[in-house]
A = this chain, B = another copy of it.
Amino acid sequence: MIVMKPTATDEQVQAVIERIESVGAQAHPSRGEEVTVIGAIGDREHVARLGLEGHEGVEKVVPILKPYKLASTQLKGEARTVLEIGGRRIGGDHFALIAGPCTVETRDQTLDTADAMLAAGATMFRGGAYKPRTSPYAFQGLGQEGLRLLAEAKERTGLPIVTELMDARDIEAVAEVADVIQIGARNMQNYPLLSEIGRSGIPVLIKRGLSSTLEELIMAAEYVLKEGNEAVMLCERGIRTFETAYRFTLDLTAIPVLKEMTHLPVVVDPSHAAGRRALVEPLSLAAAAAGADGIIVECHPEPDEAICDGPQQLRVDGFAEYAAKVEQAAILGGKLPFGATAAAARA
């Protein structure tokens, strides 16, 4: 849809029409009292390439069609994608509570947390072996040794493993243990990495970049989907705003809007957004009540001793109560129970 300037001449309008027709598309001009608007109908990519924004007499170009296809709700006639990962479901009526430490540090810390998460009703286990750090001088994760500990936690608890991949050259090692590969916010537009994961077929959770629009997040998913990998989850983790009272501003409006735009499950990470433990529970309840398909949250047996992000990690003590409350909020948000209250009753 091309909006001409009010001062555009007939020649300029005609030139735009000819340019549209030159790529085999059809031009549909409507002349209003003040401006002329020209619809361009034809192959989406051809039209996108016309580059008419700079053309003489053109005021602006308004794209009408969405740039994503495979992630779109239209594709499935409004049906939601439900993923089954290691026997746990996420999407549609199913809520996933993905919990574990920020970073895999030691065997005890890893296994103790995994046991506690299982007991509290968490449905997947998260833990970082490769850590993207702003500073090259900071701890960069245990790497291969971390993956080994995650494998042990999985064998012991049966919980599917969610862990981050930063470098396409590590994909084989990570694929051996990960049930879900996490793409961090900083890598949301690392297209070679996304394509590689697309080809691997491993389920992936893509975190929204710090200032990425929802459309860009969905386009990142599209890179994976295009390679034939349909197991994609989107994750809101806080965006950057002017506010300095907290690290990031968790954007919960993204939950209902992403669910309108796409059929993919929508997960929320309240830990990184908040940066402080006291904010994690209210934000988790808010996310679940707003209809999130899952929460990915950090938890540590002794957060004060954690190597990284200690202040934002929940304590293992008290996690079961937290999980039960999240379950209530998820039910209010339209989900089936996921077992936290039942787990608490067993304990």
Which A residues are closer than 8 A to B by beta carbons?
1, 3, 6-7, 19, 28, 30, 32-35, 37, 39, 41, 44-45, 48-49, 51-55, 62, 64-65, 67, 74, 132-139, 166-169, 186-187, 189-192, 195, 209-211, 213-216, 219, 222-223, 226, 239-246, 249-257, 260-261, 273-279, 282-283, 285-291, 303-304, 306-312, 325, 328-329, 332-333
Do residues B255 and A282 form an inter-chain contact, with CB atoms below 8 A?
yes
What's the minimum C-beta distance from A69 to chain B, rounded to whole angstroms? 8
Report Cα–Cα, A250/B283, bound state, in Å: 13
Do residues B49 and A307 form an inter-chain contact, with CB atoms below 8 A?
yes
Do residues B166 and A168 form an inter-chain contact, with CB atoms below 8 A?
no
Given A1-B1, A37-B39, A211-B242, is A53 in contact with B291 using a C-beta cutoff of 8 Å?
no
Sample 5 A-B pairs with CB under 8 A, ordered by A number: A51-B309, A167-B168, A213-B245, A214-B245, A325-B332
Q: Which residues of B contact A276 (CB under 8 A)?
A: 53-54
Given A1-B62, A211-B211, A242-B242, is A134 in contact with B216 using a C-beta cutoff of 8 Å?
yes
What's the minimum C-beta distance from A150 to chain B, rounded to whole angstroms? 20
Q: Which residues of B contact A306 (CB under 8 A)?
A: 51
Given A53-B311, A189-B186, A278-B260, is A222 in contact with B41 using a C-beta cutoff of 8 Å?
no
Given A279-B253, A328-B332, is A192 in contact with B213 using a C-beta cutoff of 8 Å?
no
Do residues B256 and A279 form an inter-chain contact, with CB atoms below 8 A?
yes
Q: Which residues of B contact A252 (CB under 8 A)?
A: 250, 252, 282-283, 286
Do residues A30 and B28 form an inter-chain contact, with CB atoms below 8 A?
yes
Do residues A282 and B310 form an inter-chain contact, with CB atoms below 8 A?
no
